[in-house]
Structure 1
Amino acid sequence: MFKIDKTRTGVNGGWERYESNPVLPMELGETFDAVVMIHDNKYRMYFGWRTVRAIAMSESRDGIHWTRPVVCLAPNPSVEWLQEVNRPIVLYHEGKFHMWFNGQKLGDLIGGTSGKTYLCYAVSEDGIKWNIHPETIMEADRSWEGYTIMCPHVIWDEMSGDYKMWYSAGEFIEPYAIGYATSKDGIHWNKYPGNPIFEADNTQLCERERVGACTVFKQEGWYYMIYIGYEDVHKAKTCMARSKDGITNWQRHPENPILSTGYSGEWDCEAVYKGCMVYDEVNDRWMMYYNAGTRSVEFVGLAIKSGKDLGFEK
């Protein structure tokens, strides 16, 4: 049974927080940027496990109660661009699991002011043991991208027959805008010449400074994007938009931000970041997993919305 926290504010568009958040226990240490898929009638969550500096996986029967995580992709100190790994997206396609993720040099991560973040790729038979592609697959090489490219989100589009990626770029700490690229094999990517395809709307308080770290899914002829809106670099909220082609004419949700920060002193009091949505057909509800926290630590939380309608104007 999903218990809604009716004492909390900061939710719009019909969303409610899970009463026992964070959904991944705090005793695991810091967890962030979770993505969830349904495979073999189970929920699978992949996330950055910052406490052990690795990408981990956990499973659940109901999307609420999770097994203890297992490390499935650890850093490799001997490879400069794999000294830190995080921010995964995982797809199951043509009998294999495919992962795109961030790779970083540890010194650059700690310093936080220089260096580059790369996009990397790995493939797996079981989603636990991964074979990492021997080279990075994308880096910042456009003027708008600055020196950092991060937070990939990839879907396979049956109609077009290619992988589609939305990614963030800009500063090292937090990105400034969202770009788009396509690929036939998941390794060689063509960046959209009109990038960035999504930038901050400074007329909206929740994203007056920048946007970044999105996830995207396709439903009933629309591409829906869940993204981070930044009022400032430390004050982030979860927002939503949609587009017919996933590139142009984005319509922002009329009730943005759909998820805001919690009360002062609580685990999610300063920022709410990347959201990933999964539709629970059995219970006719959306499950959104998001990371939130303070400037010092983040954890993964859960919000729910009953019904399939996402609240956009018809």
Structure 2
Amino acid sequence: MIWQKLGLVYVANGKQDWAFSHAFIPTAMMLNDELIRVYVAFLDQSKVGRVGFVDVAASNPLQVLRVSEKPVLDIGEPGTFDDNGVTPISIIKYANKLYLYYVGWQLGVKVRYFLLIGLAVSEDNGNSFKRYSRVPILERSDKELFVRTAAHVQRDHNKWRMWYVAGDKWLHVDDKQVPTYNLRYLESNDGINWGKEGRICLDIASNEEYGFGRPFVIKESGLYKMWYSIRTFSKGYRLGYAESTDGLNWIRKDEGVGIDVSEDGWDSQMICFGCLQKTRYGTYLFYNGNNYGETGFGVAVLQD
């Protein structure tokens, strides 16, 4: 596949306290045939994220039509798993509601943070979300101790399927403590209750890698296709690609992902956290660039 980069879509302009910087983890959905809503986390000056959105034209995703004036999902109460930030990660329409799976950030003392998955539900077509509960739907478990995060969720033949990131160890990279993790898989009957331990479906393949980020899965003609972020020691994040016939056993085909960093500019150092959106005008890939979304999110279009 080959992706043609269209350019930078949006980055916070610093005019609102809650959305001072970034546009982190683009998570897209179609509001109608002509309008794409991209949920992102905007960060305040303390680097605490809240979920907002950017509406763009389906015919030209560089055309920004509206930016949320207030968070559609704010941080949790003090002491809860999401009291230091919320990040959108996956959205699904079900039973006339929108289920938003999000990452909750909580600071640690002897480790830097904990990342767990929460669920928020919208009954007004995504203009606001209410927490399903004050606790995560993926709580810590013995082998997934510090991070159970970055979940992509979809319904497949009346079954809820989740691909997500999990791990129980930390490393020091460039004098900074970072978690190491792999991609795992869970199933659910209702999209709310999941198991305590997932099956590893994609593991680290070399000494250069130490983690994966944000899987995004589609199913075409019986074939599962996954885009994900590869976290490396020397290059930071890069996008990867894999295929599967059952959604469980994946064959990595990273060389075929069809997109890499630019020679200069907002995505010249890092490319990560991809999200696909099919439209009548083509298939778009929204993604973050340098420094984990500090430079905003951009878009590329799939070439035939």
RMSD after superposition: 2.5
- 1:311 matched to which residue of 2? none
Structure 1 residues 208 and 117 mapped into 2: Cα distance closer, same or farther (>3 Å)? closer
Q: How does 1:26-41 map to 2 (within 5 A)?
A: 27=13, 29-41=21-33
Q: Deviations over 1:244-301 (max 9, x none)?
A: 11111x122363453222235x222221111011122x33x32000011137934211
Structure 1 residues 97 and 227 mapped into 2: Cα distance closer, same or farther (>3 Å)? same
Structure 1 residues 91 and 268 mapped into 2: Cα distance closer, same or farther (>3 Å)? same
Q: Is the 8 A contact 1:117 1:139 kept in 2?
A: no
Letter in 2 for 1:124: S
Q: 1:191, 1:39 → 2: CA distance?
A: 34
Letter in 1 for 2:31: H
More helix by share: 1
Q: How does 1:61-140 map to 2 (within 5 A)?
A: 61-62=57-58, 63-66=61-64, 67-70=66-69, 71-83=71-83, 84-105=85-106, 107-108=107-108, 113-126=111-124, 127-134=126-133, 135-140=135-140
Structure 1 residues 150 and 234 mapped into 2: Cα distance closer, same or farther (>3 Å)? farther
- 1:310 matched to which residue of 2? none
Residue 49 of structure 1 is aligned with which of 19, 42, 61? 42
Q: Are 1:185 and 2:190 counterparts?
A: yes
Letter in 2 for 1:225: M
More strand by share: 2
Offset of residue 210 of structure 1: 3.2
- 2:297 matched to which residue of 1? 300
Offset of residue 224 of structure 1: 1.0
Q: 1:213, 1:179 → 2: CA distance?
A: 11
Offset of residue 99 of structure 1: 0.9
Structure 1 residues 254 and 175 mapped into 2: Cα distance closer, same or farther (>3 Å)? closer
Offset of residue 97 of structure 1: 0.6
Structure 1 residues 146 and 261 mapped into 2: Cα distance closer, same or farther (>3 Å)? farther
- 2:18 matched to which residue of 1? none
Q: 1:186, 1:178 → 2: CA distance?
A: 19
Offset of residue 231 of structure 1: 2.9
The alignment partner of 1:190 has SS state of: coil
Q: Is the 8 A contact 1:272 1:291 kept in 2?
A: yes
Q: 2:148, 2:154 → 1: CA distance?
A: 18
Q: 1:192, 1:77 → 2: CA distance?
A: 27
Structure 1 residues 222 and 213 mapped into 2: Cα distance closer, same or farther (>3 Å)? same
Q: Is the 8 A contact 1:178 1:198 kept in 2?
A: yes
Q: 1:233, 1:122 → 2: CA distance?
A: 36
Structure 1 residues 178 and 73 mapped into 2: Cα distance closer, same or farther (>3 Å)? same
Structure 1 residues 296 and 35 mapped into 2: Cα distance closer, same or farther (>3 Å)? closer
5+ residue gaps, structure 1: 1-12, 308-314
Q: 2:122, 2:254 → 1: CA distance?
A: 40
5+ residue gaps, structure 2: 15-20, 171-176
Q: 2:186, 2:217 → 1: CA distance?
A: 13
Offset of residue 146 of structure 1: 4.1
Q: 1:80, 1:89 → 2: CA distance?
A: 21
Q: 2:81, 2:110 → 1: CA distance?
A: 15
- 1:199 matched to which residue of 2? 203
Q: Is the 8 A contact 1:140 1:169 kept in 2?
A: no
Offset of residue 43 of structure 1: 1.1
Identity of aligned residues (%): 21
Structure 1 residues 27 and 61 mapped into 2: Cα distance closer, same or farther (>3 Å)? same
Number of equivalenced pairs: 279
Letter in 2 for 1:181: L
Q: Is the 8 A contact 1:104 1:116 kept in 2?
A: yes
Q: Is the 8 A contact 1:31 1:299 kept in 2?
A: yes
Letter in 2 for 1:17: K
Q: Deviations over 1:18-38 (max 9, x none)?
A: 1xx321145262111111111
Structure 1 residues 229 and 298 mapped into 2: Cα distance closer, same or farther (>3 Å)? same
Q: 2:292, 2:101 → 1: CA distance?
A: 26
Offset of residue 79 of structure 1: 4.6
Residue 162 of structure 1 is aligned with which of 144, 159, 164? 159
Structure 1 residues 173 and 258 mapped into 2: Cα distance closer, same or farther (>3 Å)? farther
Q: Deviations over 1:176-212 (max 9, x none)?
A: 211111112211013665x211112229xxx644323
Structure 1 residues 190 and 296 mapped into 2: Cα distance closer, same or farther (>3 Å)? closer
The alignment partner of 1:255 has SS state of: helix
Structure 1 residues 298 and 169 mapped into 2: Cα distance closer, same or farther (>3 Å)? farther
- The two structures have a TM-score, normalised by structure 1, of 0.80
Q: Are 1:23 and 2:16 counterparts?
A: no
Larger mean CA deviation between 169-178 and 42-51 belongs to 169-178
